[in-house]
Structures are given as structure tokens and as C-alpha cells.
């Protein structure tokens, strides 16, 4: 079909306008209106040449013909008002195409072709060099498409746009489509089902179920309605059919299991058939008899060894041995509430139960403390065998019950609430707490957290502080946040109860007063929401801490700022308190640095105060153990 004939598809046979085919509507065949056209316009469309005259009429001409017919039926004068366009063979300017033209279109799409006098075959190969797509165009330009041994129907959504015959442009578009589309892989991984369907002499089956076909050349199972050409790897029809094939394979495996079940099978007896249970009982009875014979043989051998190698102990030696054995029971006379008594009882129970041991919470706490001090020393104590201690994997859930990411720790706060019984009756005094904060020097560096999948070691001072710092870095032309050199720790301390537990930490590079402001008030919001009442902020006398207190002062006021209103509950105040050990150490330093001090004044030796580094080391140790310790209920 020439390019001229392709253009005729959209031209109206009567008026000649290029509007015969509307998008989303079926075209109007001129043969359906041949009688009305003959009567109204005296034009015989039945003798039209398909290479000269268009095959359709437009909707406007259809309405004019129907209007003329209605008036004629009412015996009224009517005029069709259609100017008939004249078509002749002189309009055909292009020569008739040949199969060689279609072959050139296939080569443009990158496909292989083979042309003869009768037909043209266009081929597509897979990675293994096997032909998977064959498009055959005959001499009259009719065509046939075969994909993986299956002839494609032109009623599919992909091929319905192509006519019964192909022009060169249609061939080129179809070849590009075949080169770009993927071929449905079907279900070729069910070889066990195919083997189960073979005939008695090994005949290859033609189908596995009534809804599919098996292609032995491609070793594939395809559904009868397979789309063949798809966007992905498998069409949705074959994907749905895959579940049926999987169910058949599971039934086949169950049938095989029904035939053979060993005595050592781990399948529960409730899932076995009667025949399987009978076979298993027979084999177990045979194994029992064999074990009984082996046991009898071993008993005879041990008796012979005992009679040949044993010696009789004299009476006085027997008495000494009994006294030694009785001395071992003196450990049971330890005080009932002593740690030694608990450790001795746990060792005896662990020796009896082995891996089924459930350790006492106090032992768990003690082992976590030892492991935090030195993991190698803890492993050495376990491996030497002097003490039976829990495996490190047993301690891991207790020491990692919460996410150790920087910032506030809601899991730790929830655990604190449940441990002290904050929601119980008569717990009003337990709600009064103070919020302590301090910074400690750490070793700078970056590390990868396998638990969270993030790089840790950068500064992190909360959402608001991070946004302000990021803005400052952008103004300076910096991208990455700096590496932290300090850790700001927030700790709750009960006023009327024995509560001291950290609730969050922030890696910093020396937190400023405004960064302290956002971190601490965020912590107050969390703590107050959990049910506590924050009464005071406690810190040392560092300059940034004093400036943080001054941020809460009234503008223009010259008095000392020691209190502020609670933003969460305005009816209560929060007081600023300097840590007493720091005040005492400041006093000591003033005495030491005062050259004119009287000899009667106390010195640092007489005060006997702890060193600042030792104080923070104990603080850090309590923080680490409390953050990573969880005990069973």
C-alpha cells in the first residue's frame, strides 16, 4: 500500500475533507450508506477503486444524508448540500512498494531479515542466539507475528492499531516496537512439574494444566492468554498462573514426602499421614532395638574395665574422703542475703541446667558492669571455666534495649517512668526532679554505626540548633558539620527519691548558651509530658552556663537571675542552682591562688576534695551503664 493510499484513510469520500476518522470513534464505512448516496447524489460507491477512492465518509456528510432521507420520507423537497469531490488515478504519484522496502524498514530497527519472492521474514534473536520473534510479511503485504513459538493475535492491545495489511511506515513502527518491548519470560522454572507429566515412555507433555501450553523448544510454560510482549519481565496473566503452578509443585512435594519419611525427620507428627506415622513407628522400633543392643554391649565392656582396673579403698581413707565431700557443703552456710550466696546458688543451677539457665537480675547487672569495664577480661573469666557467666549475646538485649542515637532518648525516659512506678498511687513526691547538665571532653573522630547505618561523630545539638548552625556554615561557605569534641549530657535527679539517670546526650564542640537553651527546654517538654515536674536546672559555673541563666533575665534588670517561669506549666518556677561540689572546688582554688591567705585558712589538702577529672570519669561511667542497661521484669 502506497503513501497515497494511507492518506486516503482520513479523507471523506464525498466532501474530500480530511476529517473522516475521529479520535475515539469508529470510522463510517461508505458501503453502509451506498443506497442513500446513490439516491441523493447519484454516485455509485460500490464501483470505487481502493487505490483511488477513500473508504470512509465524515460525520458531517452522514448527518446531511440522514436529514435528506427524513425529508424525502415526509414527501418534502430536500437538497443534500454536499459537493462531491472527484478522485482519479492521476493523484497516485508514488510507485507501488515492494518487500525490499519493508526489509529496509526492518534494518532501521536493528532486526535481522531474510527476503524471498514469496515472503519477508524479520527475526529477533536472544542472547543465546535463538530466534524468539518472527515477523512474516507475505507478497500481498498481509503479515503474521510469532513470539516464542506462539502466534500473536491482532486483537491484543499492542497490535490492534495495525491493519490487515502493512505499509512501509507501519512495518517500521512495528519493527521498532518488537525491538523495544520485552518478551514475557513465562514460567520456565517448574521442571519438576514437567517431569511429573511425562508419559510412560518419556513423552514430552503438551500442557501442564488446561489453561497453559508447554513449549519444549524453549522449556517454558505459558498461559493461553499470555501477552507475550510486555514492559517488564512477565505479564500479569503468567504471574497469576504462577501461583497455580506453585500450588501444584507443593502438592507434588507433599506426595513425595508421603512416600518416604525418615525417623529423624523434623516434621511434626500432626502433619504426617497415617502411612507416614506407621513407617516412622516401625523405623523407631528398629532403632530402639539397635540402641538397646549397643547399650548392653557397652555395659558389659564397662563392667569388665571396672573389675580389672578398680581398687578397694581402706576404711580410714574412705572416712577422709567423706569428710572432704562434706566440707564442700559449707558454702551453703553463707548468709542468705549476701552476694556470695547468690553467686554460689546461680553457679549450681547453671551447672544443672546448662544452656537453659535463666540468670538472676543481679547477676545480669554485675556481668554488664564487668563487660563495660573490659570485654576481654569478661571473656577471659568465661573461657577459663572458674565461673559460669552469661554469654555476651545474652547480655546484648539488656544493654541495647534503646537506640543510642544522639539527642533525647524517649525509650530511656519510658523505662525510668515504669521502673520508679510514676503512674502508681502515692507517687506525687517522685515527680519532683531536677535536670542536671554538664559537658565532658571526648576523643574526636568519626565512626559507622552498624545498628543505625549512619556516620556518628558530627555535632548534633537538636533540630533548632542544627538549623541555625547549618545556616551559619552556608554563610561561611562550609558544607559538612564539624566533628564533635565534647558531649553534653542531660541527667534527671530525683529530689525525694533515689532517681539518677541520663535521658539524652548531644555531641558538641563546646555548646554555646543559645544551643543550651534549645536543648534544655526541649528536654523539659519531654520530661514534663512524661509526668515529672522539673524544679531546678543544676550545672557547674562555666561561663556559657552562666550566660544561659542570664538569657532568662528580665530586659534591663541588673539583679542576679536565679529563677524563671516554667514554659510548660506557668504556675511553677524553675530555679537555677550551681553544683555544690563545683562551688567547693572553686573555694579551694581561690584559697590556693590567694597568695595573701592566712596560714590558718584551710588548704586544698585539708579540704580533701576530688579532682575534677575523677569526678567526670565517675559521671561518665554511671552514664554508660545506665544508658545501656535493661533488666528483666
> If you search the block for the grid coordinates 577459663, which residue do you land on?
384
Q: Which among 412, 370, 413 is positioned nearest to 392, based on CA atoms?
A: 370
Contact 437, 516 (CB under 8 A): yes
How far is the C-alpha of 362 from the C-alpha of 334, rounded, in Å? 17
Residue 112 predicted with pLDDT over 80: yes
CB neighbours of 513 closer than 8 A, spacing ≥ 6?
A: 544, 545, 547, 548, 550, 551
What's residue 279's pLDDT? 84
Helices (H) and strands (E) in the chain, counts: 20, 20
What's residue 615's pLDDT? 42
Pairing state between β 28-29 and 119-125: unpaired
Mean pLDDT, the chain, integer: 78
496 DSSP 8-state letter? S
Q: Which among 559, 593, 588, 589 is positioned nearest to 576, based on CA atoms?
A: 559
This model's pTM is above 0.85: no
> If you search the block for the grid coordinates 596560714, which residue do you land on?
599
Q: Which three cell numbers stand for residue 273?
A: 499421614
Q: Which among 235, 219, 217, 239 is positioned nearest to 227, based on CA atoms?
A: 235
Average pLDDT score over residue span 351-374: 85
What's residue 6's pLDDT? 62
What's residue 375's pLDDT? 87
Average pLDDT score over residue span 281-310: 88
Residue 39 predicted with pLDDT over 80: yes
Confidence of residue 603 (pLDDT cuts 50, 70, 90): very low
Determine the 3-state secondary structure of 165 from DSSP.
strand
Kindly report which listed range (364-373, 602-611, 619-628) carries the lowest average pLDDT score: 619-628
How far is the C-alpha of 219 from the C-alpha of 550, rounded, in Å? 82
Confidence of residue 462 (pLDDT cuts 50, 70, 90): low
What's residue 292's pLDDT? 92
Confidence of residue 536 (pLDDT cuts 50, 70, 90): very high
Higher pLDDT, 38 or 257: 38
Confidence of residue 47 (pLDDT cuts 50, 70, 90): confident
Average pLDDT score over residue span 334-359: 81
Determine the 3-state secondary structure of 179 from DSSP.
helix
Average pLDDT score over residue span 311-333: 69
Higher pLDDT, 6 or 229: 229
What's residue 458's pLDDT? 67
Angle between helical axes of 392-399 and 375-384 (0-180°, round to 10): 140
Q: Is 166 left (phi over 0), alpha (psi -120 to 50) or beta?
A: beta
Kindly report which listed range (12-16, 432-436, 477-481) carries the lowest average pLDDT score: 477-481
pLDDT, one tens digit per residue, over 478-519 is 767 777 788 888 888 888 888 888 888 888 877 788 788 888
How far is the C-alpha of 326 from the C-alpha of 478, rounded, in Å? 76
pLDDT, one tens digit per residue, over 373-428 is 888 898 888 888 788 888 888 887 777 666 666 777 777 788 888 888 887 777 78
Question: What are phi and psi for residue 173, nearest 5 degrees?
Answer: -65, -40
**Cβ-count burial 63-86 (b if 16+ within 10 Å, e if not):** ebbeebbeeeeeeeebebebeeee
Q: Which three cell numbers stand for residue 24?
A: 475515539
pLDDT, one tens digit per residue, over 568-598 is 888 899 999 888 888 888 888 888 887 654 5
Average pLDDT score over residue span 64-82: 84
What's residue 626's pLDDT? 37
Determine the 3-state secondary structure of 42 from DSSP.
coil
What's residue 450's pLDDT? 56
How far is the C-alpha of 623 from the C-alpha of 489, rounded, in Å? 8
Burial category of 413 from C-beta neighbours within 10 Å (exposed 0-12, middle 13-18, buried 19 and up) = buried
Average pLDDT score over residue span 524-551: 87
What's residue 71's pLDDT? 86
What's residue 628's pLDDT? 37
Q: Which three cell numbers stand for residue 266?
A: 523434623
Give me the half-sphere count of Cα atoms (radius 13 Å) on the Cβ side of residue 450: 1
Amino acid at each position: 500500500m502506497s503513501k497515497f493510499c494511507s492518506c486516503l484513510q482520513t479523507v471523506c469520500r464525498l466532501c474530500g475533507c480530511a476529517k473522516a476518522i475521529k479520535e475515539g470513534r469508529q470510522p463510517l464505512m461508505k458501503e453502509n450508506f451506498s443506497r442513500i448516496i446513490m439516491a441523493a447524489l447519484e454516485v455509485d460507491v460500490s464501483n470505487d477503486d481502493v487505490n483511488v477512492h477513500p473508504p470512509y465518509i465524515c460525520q458531517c456528510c452522514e448527518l446531511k444524508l440522514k436529514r435528506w432521507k427524513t425529508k424525502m420520507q415526509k414527501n418534502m423537497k430536500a437538497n443534500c448540500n454536499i459537493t462531491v469531490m472527484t478522485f482519479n488515478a492521476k493523484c497516485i504519484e508514488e510507485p507501488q512498494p515492494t518487500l525490499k522496502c519493508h526489509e529496509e524498514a526492518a534494518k532501521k530497527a536493528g532486526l535481522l531479515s531474510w527476503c524471498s519472492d514469496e515472503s519477508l521474514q524479520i527475526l529477533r534473536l536472544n542472547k543465546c542466539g535463538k530466534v524468539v520473534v518472527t515477523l512474516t510479511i507475505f507478497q500481498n503485504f498481509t503479515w503474521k507475528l510469532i513470539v516464542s513459538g506462539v502466534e500473536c493475535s491482532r486483537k491484543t492491545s499492542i497490535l490492534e492499531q495495525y491493519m490487515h495489511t502493512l505499509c512501509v511506515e507501519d512495518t517500521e513502527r512495528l519493527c521498532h516496537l518488537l525491538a523495544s518491548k520485552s518478551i514475557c519470560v513465562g514460567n520456565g522454572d517448574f521442571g519438576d512439574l514437567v517431569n511429573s507429566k511425562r508419559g510412560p515412555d518419556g513423552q514430552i507433555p503438551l500442557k501442564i494444566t488446561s489453561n497453559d501450553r508447554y513449549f519444549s523448544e524453549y522449556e517454558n510454560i505459558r498461559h493461553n492468554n499470555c501477552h507475550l510482549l510486555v514492559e517488564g519481565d512477565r505479564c500479569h496473566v503468567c504471574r497469576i498462573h504462577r501461583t497455580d503452578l506453585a500450588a501444584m509443585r507443593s502438592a507434588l512435594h507433599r506426595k513425595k514426602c508421603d512416600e518416604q519419611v525418615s525417623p529423624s525427620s523434623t516434621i511434626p507428627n500432626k502433619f504426617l499421614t497415617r502411612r507416614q506415622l506407621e513407617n516412622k513407628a516401625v523405623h523407631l522400633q528398629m532403632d530402639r532395638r539397635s540402641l538397646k543392643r549397643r547399650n548392653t554391649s557397652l555395659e558389659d565392656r564397662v563392667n569388665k574395665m571396672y573389675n580389672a582396673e578398680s581398687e578397694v579403698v581402706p576404711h580410714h581413707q574412705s572416712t577422709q574422703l567423706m569428710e572432704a565431700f562434706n566440707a564442700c557443703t559449707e558454702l551453703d552456710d553463707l548468709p542468705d542475703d549476701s552476694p556470695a550466696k547468690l553467686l554460689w546458688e546461680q553457679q549450681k543451677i547453671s551447672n544443672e541446667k546448662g544452656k537453659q539457665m535463666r540468670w538472676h537480675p543481679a547477676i545480669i547487672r554485675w556481668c554488664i558492669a564487668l563487660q563495660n569495664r573490659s570485654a576481654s577480661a569478661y571473656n577471659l573469666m568465661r573461657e577459663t571455666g572458674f565461673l559460669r557467666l552469661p554469654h555476651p549475646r545474652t547480655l546484648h538485649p539488656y544493654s541495647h534495649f534503646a537506640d543510642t542515637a544522639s539527642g533525647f532518648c524517649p525509650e530511656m525516659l519510658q523505662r525510668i517512668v515504669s521502673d520508679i512506678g510514676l503512674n502508681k498511687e502515692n507517687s506525687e513526691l517522685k515527680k519532683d526532679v531536677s535536670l542536671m547538665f554538664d559537658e565532658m571532653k571526648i576523643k574526636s573522630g568519626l565512626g559507622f554505626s552498624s545498628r543505625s547505618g549512619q556516620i556518628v561523630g558530627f555535632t548534633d545539638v537538636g533540630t533548632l540548633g542544627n538549623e541555625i548552625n547549618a545556616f551559619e556554615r552556608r554563610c561561611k561557605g562550609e558544607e559538612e558539620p564539624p566533628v564533635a569534641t565534647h558531649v553534653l549530657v542531660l541527667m534527671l535527679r530525683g529530689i525525694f527519691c533515689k532517681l539518677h539517670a541520663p535521658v539524652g546526650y548531644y555531641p558538641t564542640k563546646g555548646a554555646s548558651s543559645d544551643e543550651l537553651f534549645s536543648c534544655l527546654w526541649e528536654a523539659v517538654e519531654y520530661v514534663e509530658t512524661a509526668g515529672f515536674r522539673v524544679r531546678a536546672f543544676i550545672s557547674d559555673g562555666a561561663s556559657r552556663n552562666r550566660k544561659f541563666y542570664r538569657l532568662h533575665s528580665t530586659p534591663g534588670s541588673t539583679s542576679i537571675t536565679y529563677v524563671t517561669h516554667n514554659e510548660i506549666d506557668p504556675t511553677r518556677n524553675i530555679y537555677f542552682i550551681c553544683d555544690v561540689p563545683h562551688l567547693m572546688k572553686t573555694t579551694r582554688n581561690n584559697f590556693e591562688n590567694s597568695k595573701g591567705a592566712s596560714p590558718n585558712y584551710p588548704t586544698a589538702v585539708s579540704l580533701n576534695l576530688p579532682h575534677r577529672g575523677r569526678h567526670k570519669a565517675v559521671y561518665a561511667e554511671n552514664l554508660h551503664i545506665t544508658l545501656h542497661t535493661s533488666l528483666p521484669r
